Amino acid sequence: MKELAVIDRVVMEPIGGAHRRREETISALGNAIEDALEGLRGQDGATLRQNRRQKFLDMGQKGLG
């Protein structure tokens, strides 16, 4: 999915599984969300919408070449 640009990144599950190490999982996901939102900071709504639209239009194109 990463190669096809369907996802931006993979958040690794802790050893033993997310269900056994909930705090670690919550922290890792929180950090990933914070990083993603930080990358959007400062963009206006029109730019965010256009970039999102383009992302969906581009999905799968990278893996086809």
- Enter the pTM of the model: 0.71
Residue with tokens 């930080």: 38
Question: What are the residues whose beta carbons fall under 8 Å from the beta carbon of 51, sequence distance 6 or more?
Answer: 43
Question: What are the residues whose beta carbons fall under 8 Å from the beta carbon of 41, sequence distance 6 or more?
Answer: none
Compute the distance between CA of residue 31 and CA of residue 29 in angstroms, rounded to an integer: 5
Domain ranges of the chain: 1-65
End-to-end Cα distance, the chain: 15
- What is residue 65's predicted lDDT score, i.e. its pLDDT? 55
Residue with tokens 């639209």: 53
pLDDT tens for residues 2-53?
888 788 899 999 999 999 999 999 999 999 999 999 989 999 999 999 999 9
